[in-house]
Amino acid sequence: MNSAPPVSPTYVEETRFGFWFLQSHVWQHHVLRVAIDDLLRLVGEPLPQAAVLLDAGCGQGRSFRLLQQAFAPARMIGLDADPHSLDCSRREAEQQGLEVELVASDCAAIDLPDNSVDLLFCHQTLHHLVEQEKALAEFWRVLKPGGRLLLAESTKYYIDTWVIRWLFRHPMHVQRSAQQYLDMLAAQGFEFTDDDISYPYLWWSRSRDFGLLERWGLMRPKPVGQRDETLLNVVAHKPL
């Protein structure tokens, strides 16, 4: 359906359909909102005062209002490598009446100082990146000691499905399972417990039947540990 987009050394650009979808109500309401609500639940404890929040891979800025409402940062930074997306983010921030600093930078080489961010929101970004370990090392570098990585990611069991392959483009050779993402976080030094993790099994992430068989009572939902997880949400800490 979509011709293959140019491939950067560090990330795969979105298809035309994907770029359109990322500005849709469906994306903002059924994907972004749900992920941010779940991450806020996982954070649990009081948030840092006057927090600096970085939205790494902010795309078209559809997360800005939701992040402001959920985490009330004193300073918000949106980072993306795509100039067109940053233009859209700028307009979105203006329409929402929000002050958002926009940075044109790749996640594998973030143009921010060391230890400068309290909260780093990374939503559906890692699976677009070729150099995931480098990006994670940069997340570690810019986070303050005690800072938190708010990660919401799709796993290979969602990315490697016919619907996603047909409509979107991703670097398929770097896709990971939920456990492989958690292992990568731990290898970088991030700390988390089982209470910091959730495995949403949302209808849109199950491209075989979109959960219809369960809703029609024809199949019992499989519990965590007995299914291939399609989504991972985790709040990981950089130790003090």
pLDDT at residue 104, as a whole number: 95
Residue 39 lies in a domain: yes
The whole-angstrom separation of Cα 58 and Cα 80 is 6
Q: Is the pLDDT of residue 112 over 90?
A: yes
Task: Give me the residues paired with residue 237 across strands.
Answer: 148, 191
Q: How many other CB atoms are found less than 10 A from the CB of residue 237?
A: 17
Residue 3 lies in a domain: no
> Of the ranges 2-16, 60-74, 168-182, which one carries the lowest mean pLDDT score?
2-16
Residue 7 lies in a domain: no
Q: What band does 189 get if pLDDT is binned at 50, 70 and 90? A: very high
At 77, give phi and psi (nearest 5°): -120, 130
Question: CATH no. for residue 196?
Answer: 3.40.50.150
Burial zone of 54 (CB within 10 Å; 0-12 exposed, 13-18 middle, 19+ buried): buried
User: Mean pLDDT of all residues in the chain?
Assistant: 85
Stretch 231-235: mean pLDDT, rounded? 96
Q: What band does 7 get if pLDDT is binned at 50, 70 and 90? A: very low
Residue 5 lies in a domain: no
Residue 133 lies in a domain: yes
Domain of residue 185, residue span:
16-237
Stretch 235-240: mean pLDDT, rounded? 97
Residue 27 lies in a domain: yes
The whole-angstrom separation of Cα 32 and Cα 39 is 11
- pTM equals 0.85
Residue 208 lies in a domain: yes
Residue 33 lies in a domain: yes
The count of structural domains within the chain is 1
Stretch 18-29: mean pLDDT, rounded? 74
Q: What band does 5 get if pLDDT is binned at 50, 70 and 90? A: very low
